[in-house]
C-alpha cells in the first residue's frame, strides 16, 4: 500500500510540478528531474496502470488526482501521459465494474487541460500531434492557436 502511494505521489508531482512557482519546465527538464530520482514518466505510468487492477490502486490514484483539482488544472507537457493513464484507469474500472471511480474520472476529465501554443506566425490555427488515442487516433489535428484542450475532448 505504501509503495502504491509513493508511485501515485511521484507521478502526480511530476504532472503538476512543471508549472509551480511560475517556472515552466520543458519536457526534457522534467524528464531529467525524474531520471535523477531513478525513474521515468513512462515507468511511473506503467506501475500505475498495473495498480489499477486492484480497488485500492484505483482509489489511491483517484484520491491523489482529486487533490490536484484546485491546485493546478493546466497539465501542459504531460497532457498526453495523463490522458493515456486516465484511459487505462477507465478500462480497469470497466473490467472490474468500478462505477464510482469511473464516474469520478469522467467528472475530473472536465477539469484538466492544456493550452495550445500561440502561433509564432500569427495564424489563427495550428497543427498539433493528435496522438493519445480516442477518436483522433494518431492523426494530426488543427486547433485554434492559444485554445484550451480538455481531457474529455
pLDDT confidence of residue 85: 92
pLDDT confidence of residue 43: 84
Rounded to whole angstroms, the Cα distance separating 29 from 37 reads: 13
pLDDT confidence of residue 138: 45
The closest of 60, 63, 56, 54 to 6, measured between CA atoms, is 60
pLDDT confidence of residue 131: 47
Residue identified by cell 490502486 is: 57
* pLDDT-flagged residues of the chain (< 70): 1, 17-38, 71-72, 117-146, 152-153
Total residues found in the chain within this entry:
153
Give yes or no for a contact between 104 and 112, defined as CB atoms under 8 angstroms apart.
no
pLDDT confidence of residue 37: 61
Question: Burial level of 12, CB count in 10 A (0-12/13-18/19+)?
Answer: buried
Amino acid at each position: 500500500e505504501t509503495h502504491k502511494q509513493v508511485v501515485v505521489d511521484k507521478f502526480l508531482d511530476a504532472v503538476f510540478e512543471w508549472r509551480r512557482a511560475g517556472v515552466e519546465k520543458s519536457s526534457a527538464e522534467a524528464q531529467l528531474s525524474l531520471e535523477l530520482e531513478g525513474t521515468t514518466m513512462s515507468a511511473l505510468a506503467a506501475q500505475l496502470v498495473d495498480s489499477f487492477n486492484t480497488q485500492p490502486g484505483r482509489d489511491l490514484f483517484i484520491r491523489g488526482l482529486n487533490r490536484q483539482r484546485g491546485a493546478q488544472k493546466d497539465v501542459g507537457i504531460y497532457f498526453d501521459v495523463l490522458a493515456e493513464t486516465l484511459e487505462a484507469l477507465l478500462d480497469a474500472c470497466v473490467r472490474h465494474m468500478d462505477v464510482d471511480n469511473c464516474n469520478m474520472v469522467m467528472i475530473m476529465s472536465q477539469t484538466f487541460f492544456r493550452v495550445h501554443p500561440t502561433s509564432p506566425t500569427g495564424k489563427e490555427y495550428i497543427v498539433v500531434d493528435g496522438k493519445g488515442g480516442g477518436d483522433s487516433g494518431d492523426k494530426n489535428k488543427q486547433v485554434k492557436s492559444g485554445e484550451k484542450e480538455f481531457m474529455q475532448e
